[in-house]
Structure 1
Amino acid sequence: MRNFIIRRLLQTIPMLLLASLLIFFIFALTPGDFIDGNITLTLQRAAELKALYGLDQPMLLRYLRWLGQLLQGNLGYSLQYQIPVSTLLNQYIWHSFLLATVAMVMYWGIALAVGVASAVKPYSLFDHLVTVLIFAAMSFPTFFLCLLLIKWFAVDLHWLPVGGMLRTGSEARGMQWVLEVAAHLALPVIALVMLQAGSLTRYFRASMLDVIRMDYIRTARAKGLREHTVILRHALRNALLPIITLLGFELPGLFSGALITEKIFNWPGAGHIQLDSLSARDYPVLMGFTMFLAVLTILGNLLADVLYAWVDPRIRLRS
């Protein structure tokens, strides 16, 4: 197992270098930047600022300089907010992490329970009803679903707040702060669960159906094992193998933020910062944050490989 992990770690080095190269040149070749978009600057002042931030240097030299900063843990400097990118993200990224983690736990739990139940009784009334509800939820555009939830639960029923993370001017502390955040968290979590649970449920159902039809499941039933034991102990463990890959790719999603959902609900997360930086053409923020997500994606893939090899030792022998 140790050799397997070491090989996988060594394979991530060229992947990270290639990712940094692509990310830098995609943004560097994009026309305009934050300084060009500031119409209040004179040509002389714009030239001075570009020289100050090194934007007038050759592209290859700028890439090597940016790569050197990344190796030191420096994601760059925000031209719009005038603070380091790491500091800026640290102010907002944990809000996205909170939202994504709560939503992920809920839609993975719902998808697992509903997917297994649908696979145990395929083509039953319950299975057909779940299929209809899944496709109905997945067919809603994100912005329409979010606005619909706001109208129902915030405007009409007054059960939940419209948006934000805390009430305006709130000075809540302790448990009162937790309850206030939970109330503001409810609507965006419901939106994300409705959008994500459907496809994941279909994955669980399809994987369970494939496993249930295998010979060793028939053998387990023929031996007189209870159906509960056959499904949970024998079928579910093997059905989860293909899902492990999906779980590894959830890691960057915990920090990337849900762009549309956070914007509509005014949730102060990383998605909100991405949209603001994109409109202001603050490319250092976008490059640093995209590189951070690339690292998380590669680490998530590595985590999925390790979990897969741990669950199925045959993977280690073939690698």
Structure 2
Amino acid sequence: MRLLLLSGRRLAAALPALLLILAGLFLLLQLAPGDTVDALVAQVGGADPTMIEELRRYYALDQSTSVRLWDYLWRLAHLDLGQSAIYGKPVASVIAERLPVTLLLMGTSLAFAIPVGMVLGIVSARRVNRWQDTVISLLGLLCYATPSFWFGLMGVFLFSIYLDWLPSGGFETIASGLTGWARVLDIAHHLVLPTLTLALIFLTIYLRIMRASMLEVSTLDFVRTARAKGVPETRIVVRHVLRNALLPLVTLIGLQTGTMLGGSVVVESVFALPGLGRLAYESVMQRDLNTLLGIVFVSALLVIAINFLVDLLYARLDPRIAGEG
């Protein structure tokens, strides 16, 4: 029951934050040069003033900022994200087409980065100040200091151009007609490079956090007591050290959800993936404000949902959190 109350409070606190994010972004976009009509006119090579005025009236750009903000929030309360000016269909449909690609990319990246980072962090902590710790720490520092787009470009050069092992971009083979498991394997083949590119930087962060947490927990009194009682070292690491060392890592995973969404913009652009990140970039370049606001809304909901699940997991790992609730 206490866990449910804690969850309800976290969700209630997230709603004002979501409202402030959307309202703040809407106001900031009004300060940016150009608007949807300017982008449309530039695409067709120009238009007469009468047509431009009609377009501004059609997209409600002739109204004041406060009126448009209120209208947007009112439509949002009814789950209406508006119409995409560039794609000519509802924003919800555009996002629904792109969201699975981003979720799949994020899911596979996390599924690779978390366990590998944990294992390397545990090995580094168990072999602290030895050659294993030095090698792992050095490689982690190099990966963390290297921009993700450079990893992507070098991966394309090495594995796609030079070795011809992996596709250089795209989500699947165009017009292949594949279905079932053949299509799944084709998509997995295309996602190898993007997944590794996005996962490497986060893997190094998880590695460092797990190493530091393991070293810190290993010096606590209850661990020394377990060793004094003769508890096997493997059981001490798994049952006592690892469970407590996971708490900072779980928190970090929730906090970095937004960072991973931002990183997907770069990765999807490098590998031409039709996901939310690339859609956000195209919306900014084409001044499609409705689509951009819809992407931010969906991304904020995704971050809130993941942080909510992380809070529940954190309370499960540390019962004191639920007890204080």
TM-score normalised by L of structure 1: 0.94
Q: Does 1:310 align with 2:312?
A: no
Partner residue in 2 for 1:28? 30
Distance 1:18 1:168, change over 3 A: closer
Q: Is the 8 A contact 2:276 2:295 kept in 1?
A: no
Q: Is the 8 A contact 1:262 1:269 kept in 2?
A: yes
Give the Cα–Cα distance (whole angstroms) in 2 for the partners of residues 21 and 187 of structure 1: 36
SS at match of 1:203: helix
**Which among 140, 146, 149 is matched to residue 155 of structure 2?**
149
**Which among 244, 255, 259 is matched to residue 249 of structure 1?**
255
Shift of 1:6: 2.5
Q: Output one character per residue of 1:21-58: Cα deviation in whole Å (capped at 9) or x when no partner.
A: 21211112322112123232222111111111211112
Q: Does 1:180 align with 2:186?
A: yes
Structure 2: runs of 5+ lacking an equivalent: none
For residues 251-270 of structure 1, the aligned pairs below 5 Å read: 251=257, 258-270=264-276
For structure 1, which segment, 162-171 or 118-127, has the greater mean C-alpha deviation from structure 2 after superposition?
A: 162-171
Q: Does 1:207 align with 2:213?
A: yes
Q: Does 1:289 align with 2:295?
A: yes
Shift of 1:140: 2.2
Give the Cα–Cα distance (whole angstroms) in 2 for the partners of residues 275 and 126 of structure 1: 41
For structure 1, which segment, 271-280 or 249-258, has the greater mean C-alpha deviation from structure 2 after superposition?
A: 249-258
Shift of 1:8: 2.4
Q: Is the 8 A contact 1:96 1:254 kept in 2?
A: no
Q: Is the 8 A contact 1:252 1:300 kept in 2?
A: no
Distance 1:255 1:85, change over 3 A: farther
**Which among 37, 40, 62 is matched to residue 56 of structure 1?**
62
Shift of 1:153: 0.9
Shift of 1:252: 5.0
Distance 1:194 1:76, change over 3 A: same
Partner residue in 2 for 1:79? 85
For structure 1, which segment, 281-290 or 161-170, has the greater mean C-alpha deviation from structure 2 after superposition?
A: 161-170
SS at match of 1:258: helix
Q: Is the 8 A contact 2:22 2:296 kept in 1?
A: no
Q: Is the 8 A contact 2:36 2:286 kept in 1?
A: yes
For structure 1, which segment, 112-121 or 26-35, has the greater mean C-alpha deviation from structure 2 after superposition?
A: 26-35
Give the Cα–Cα distance (whole angstroms) in 2 for the partners of residues 254 and 85 of structure 1: 23
SS at match of 2:32: coil
Distance 1:12 1:167, change over 3 A: closer
Shift of 1:258: 0.8
SS at match of 1:228: helix
Shift of 1:219: 0.7
Distance 1:92 1:150, change over 3 A: same
Q: Output one character per residue of 1:161-205: Cα deviation in whole Å (capped at 9) or x when no partner.
A: 111122232111112111211111111112122222111110111
Q: Output one character per residue of 1:65-122: Cα deviation in whole Å (capped at 9) or x when no partner.
A: 1111111112222111111111001111101111111111001010011111111221
Poorly superposed stretches of 4+, deviation over 4 Å: 250-257
**Which among 127, 150, 172 is matched to residue 121 of structure 1?**
127
Q: Is the 8 A contact 1:94 1:255 kept in 2?
A: no
Give the Cα–Cα distance (whole angstroms) in 2 for the partners of residues 31 and 150 of structure 1: 35
Partner residue in 2 for 1:14? 16
Distance 1:143 1:253, change over 3 A: closer
Q: Is the 8 A contact 1:75 1:289 kept in 2?
A: no
SS at match of 1:36: helix
Partner residue in 2 for 1:88? 94
Distance 1:87 1:161, change over 3 A: same
Shift of 1:256: 6.2
Give the Cα–Cα distance (whole angstroms) in 1 for the partners of residues 15 and 270 of structure 2: 38
For structure 1, which segment, 243-252 or 94-103, has the greater mean C-alpha deviation from structure 2 after superposition?
A: 243-252
Give the Cα–Cα distance (whole angstroms) in 2 for the partners of residues 263 and 174 of structure 1: 27
**Identity in percent:** 34
One-letter code aligned to 1:311:
L
Taking only aligned residues, the RMSD between alpha carbons, in angstroms, comes to: 1.8
Partner residue in 1 for 2:138? 132
Give the Cα–Cα distance (whole angstroms) in 1 for the partners of residues 317 and 182 of structure 2: 42
TM-score normalised by L of structure 2: 0.92
Shift of 1:301: 3.1
Distance 1:144 1:8, change over 3 A: closer
Q: Is the 8 A contact 1:256 1:293 kept in 2?
A: no
Shift of 1:141: 2.2
One-letter code aligned to 1:70:
L
Q: Is the 8 A contact 2:118 2:210 kept in 1?
A: yes
Structure 1: runs of 5+ lacking an equivalent: none
